[in-house]
Structure 1
């Protein structure tokens, strides 16, 4: 993943604004800071998970399975919930299967259906990882007051609702 490390200042961005009149310097700086925080947090999470021989994708699959009442789900549902392609999910599942953190089982109703189930070893892995994860999250978020946390969540939700502008072919649709 590319890290956003060197965020340009307003003076540098003014050069871009001179060339691209639609540039709003304040919005660009805010956006780049949001990207920087997100990429730094993601890298920090990867570093922490690596201590347990996990990557974010595999960790997330284990969490998705743990959320299920019967600790099972279909590969396609997991792919959808994780926001990855089925091919990517297959790769994640193959690695977790090799380490016996998950198992494949046939569906009860339809024996053609394959379910992925969190194993006892997979639960043990989560039980190792999650206390430190929550400790780190709590330490990080302790920088904000309760009011600031609520405000941040509200602001992030506003930005999240507009994320589709990067997904559309034309930004002029909005």
Structure 2
């Protein structure tokens, strides 16, 4: 995350870009602004998820499974690849989500060692409950940038 609340001045950025032969100081300034804004949005989303006793990772697991309408489930390895987290982190997350009855887990029919993960009824209801607020947080944040 990017926690710099006050960005460097344009003069400071231009000084560094001249020193390091960067051709477009405005692009650097734009990137710094974008990183700060993204960090602020992530903080707001983390707060929202915390209010609902969940985390961004757990939310992403639910979304990744839900966005596959042609499939009823995904392998744990497919979820980990789509979210880009390590397998140990994914394993712990899936275990806690299983304990909270947000997902179901079964041996995959084609490979008994692999685990097939699906949303449980509770998981579907939970996702349906938090999605409106999730989109409202993003919408309000983006309005504030205009």
Q: Tell me the TM-score range normalised by the shorter chain.
A: 0.7 to 0.9
In the alignment, the residues of structure 1 paired with residue 37 and residue 19 of structure 2 have an alpha-carbon distance, to the nearest angstrom, of 27
| CA shift digits 1:32-83 (9 cap, x unpaired) | 0110111111111111111111111110001111223444110110011112
Q: Which runs of 5+ in 1 are unaligned?
A: 146-174
SS in 1 for 2:34: helix
SS in 2 for 1:111: coil
The corresponding residue for 1:64 is 64
The corresponding residue for 2:55 is 55
In the alignment, the residues of structure 2 paired with residue 137 and residue 41 of structure 1 have an alpha-carbon distance, to the nearest angstrom, of 7
- Greater relative contact order structure (CA < 8 Å, 6+ sep): 2
In the alignment, the residues of structure 1 paired with residue 14 and residue 135 of structure 2 have an alpha-carbon distance, to the nearest angstrom, of 41
The corresponding residue for 1:132 is 133
Q: Larger deviation: 48-57 or 82-91?
A: 82-91
In the alignment, the residues of structure 2 paired with residue 88 and residue 23 of structure 1 have an alpha-carbon distance, to the nearest angstrom, of 40
| CA shift digits 1:123-168 (9 cap, x unpaired) | 12112201212233344445799xxxxxxxxxxxxxxxxxxxxxxx
CA contact (8 A) 2:2 2:36 kept: no
Q: Larger deviation: 70-79 or 16-25?
A: 16-25
1:142–1:5: structure 2 CA closer, same or farther, 3 Å change rule? closer
The corresponding residue for 1:92 is 93
Q: Which runs of 5+ in 2 are unaligned?
A: none
Cα deviation for residue 19 of structure 1 reads 2.8
RMSD, matched Cα: 2.3
In the alignment, the residues of structure 2 paired with residue 65 and residue 20 of structure 1 have an alpha-carbon distance, to the nearest angstrom, of 45
